[in-house]
Structure formats: C-alpha cells, structure tokens
Copies of this chain bind each other. A is one copy, B any other.
Amino acid sequence: MKHFSSISQIDDLNLWINQALEIKKNPLQDADLGRNKTIGLLFFNSSLRTRLSTQKAATNLGMHSIVLNVSKEAWAIEFEDGTIMNGSTAEHIKEAAAVLSQYCDVIGLRAFPQLVDRVKDESEHILKAFIKYASVPIINMESSTEHPLQALTDAITISEFKTKKRPKVVLSWCPHTKVLPHAVANSFVMTMQKMDVDFVIANPKGYNLNPAITKDIKIEHDQEVAIQHADFIYAKNWSSYEHYGRIRKVKSNWMITQEKMKDAKFMHCLPVRRNVVVEDSVLDGPNSIVIEQSNNRTFAAQLVLKKLLQHG
C-alpha cells in the first residue's frame, strides 16, 4: 500500500480490525517507528476529530506533525492542468505536492467536494493530484467521495460492540439544514460490504446514493421498516446524489428518536446537530456509542500510518 485513499484498498477487513484493536490495547507499542519522521496535515476544510486523532496517532508512533490550514496560511492552490494562472491561485499542485514531499514523510489531506459538479467531484481531482505529484504517501482525511479513516473506525467500533455474529446494521439518512457530502456514507457502505453484517440503507426517495457504490445493497425508503430489529443504527445526512447537491423536501420525519431506536446502538461520525439529526435522548442515553466511536479514530489512523511507514 503506497497511499491510503479508499476503503477499497482494504482486502482483509477483519485482519485490519484486529490489528487496530491490538494497537488500542497498547498505543505506544511502536513508539519508535516514526522517529525523525514528519506528517504534514493539510486542511482545506474544518476538522476536529480528524486533525486531533491523526496528530495523536502520529505522536503515538513518535512522529512530528505539522498542521497547515492551506487556504488560510499558505497559497491558494491551482489544480487545473495547462491553465494560465492569472487569477486567484498562486501555486500549482505540481509544485505544492512535490515541495511538501520534501519536508514531510507522509501527507494527510482533507478536501471536501463543491457539490455542484458531480463529474468533477467524482474525479477526485484534488486527492488524485496529490497522489500523482507527491513523492510520499498520501492519507485521505476525507475527500469528495470517501472518508476511509472514518469507515475503518466504524468497522472497528461495530466489531467491538456487536453481541451477535451477524448483526443488523442500518445506515439511515437523517435531516440536516446544510448541503452535505456523500463521503462518509459512501465509505461506510463500502465497508459494510466487506463485513459479515445484515446491512440495509434507509433513505427517502430522491436520496439514493451512487448506485455504483451501493450495488445490490437493499435500499429501503420506509425508515420504520428498515430499522426493525436493527442492532446498529448509523445516522448520517447527505444531499441528493441524483439531483446532485440539492436538498429535496422530505415529508415524513427522518430524525432518529428514542422511540425508533429500541435496543439498537446509535452511531454517527460527528459533528452531529442535536434535535435535527437525532434527539437529545438518544445521544444522552446508554445506547449511543458515538464517543467510543470517535475514540477509535486514533487507532484507525495509527494502523494506517503504521502500514505506510512499514511498507511505504
């Protein structure tokens, strides 16, 4: 593995989960592996969990980390090839990535989609440009269409909390006030396809995810039906994929309530808008595992970093 850009790179998910859980037992077991190495964490967008958990993971491996809020602290980056750079961008990705590769041994990258042009977003032009022009491993810290560190975290968490061999996992679309990306949902769907789970996606009509990703996964438009007997309910909003980047009116109330939850465990990648996505009582109740889930971000990041340092 040269870079970590997609959940599709994980062949043996169970092996990865077990390796991450081993790290969790003793996070300092490889405290020398990253000695004298630096990870550069490049953010084009806001971050709390991703930034801190990746810094923590790097620190556990003995690495230095440098955070760069690209648009605010450095120069605006141009990603188009062949363009005449007489506009607002000051540095081309070709130079930026090559230069960064000389100061950093690994580069983490967060770049959200614009959610205007589907073809452009799906081209993953920012992530791919970094992979193309950097000479060091790139870690996807959430790109246009994927958030693999989150999805690996989710798999670890389900593995820890499941009480039966093949739990029922429901990814349920939930309401939101903003136009949100599909990355978390996409990577979660791809991960569940690799896990021994009974997996259902629940979303309103008009909100089906990219069919090339959901494939033959059951999509249920009646939330009540979908979540019956669920062991895990993973709540997440996304904007429409068909009507790309739009928010479509939804008649019934898709907010997750205590009544809907029954005995299921509640998962969410966070940040979560209370009483919009999910009721207070769910998050404050005993079946919410969102905090434990966020804790696993460190070990997912640490496993990926460890693999890149060992084989990169």
Contacts and interface: CB of A to CB of B under 8 A. Distances in A.
A52 B78 contact: no
A266 to B, nearest CB: 12
Interface residues of A, number: 62
A19 interface: no
B56 A275 contact: no
A271 B52 contact: no
Interface of A: 28, 31, 36, 38, 40, 43, 46-49, 51-53, 55-56, 59-60, 64, 66, 68-69, 72-75, 78, 81-87, 89-92, 94-96, 98-100, 102-104, 177, 270-276, 280, 283-284, 290-291, 294-295, 298
Given A84-B274, A90-B273, A92-B271, 7 more contacts: A38-B56, A46-B73, A86-B177, A92-B272, A92-B283, A95-B283, A96-B271
A43 B92 CA distance: 22
Given A48-B75, A59-B64, A275 B83 contact: yes
B53 A103 contact: yes
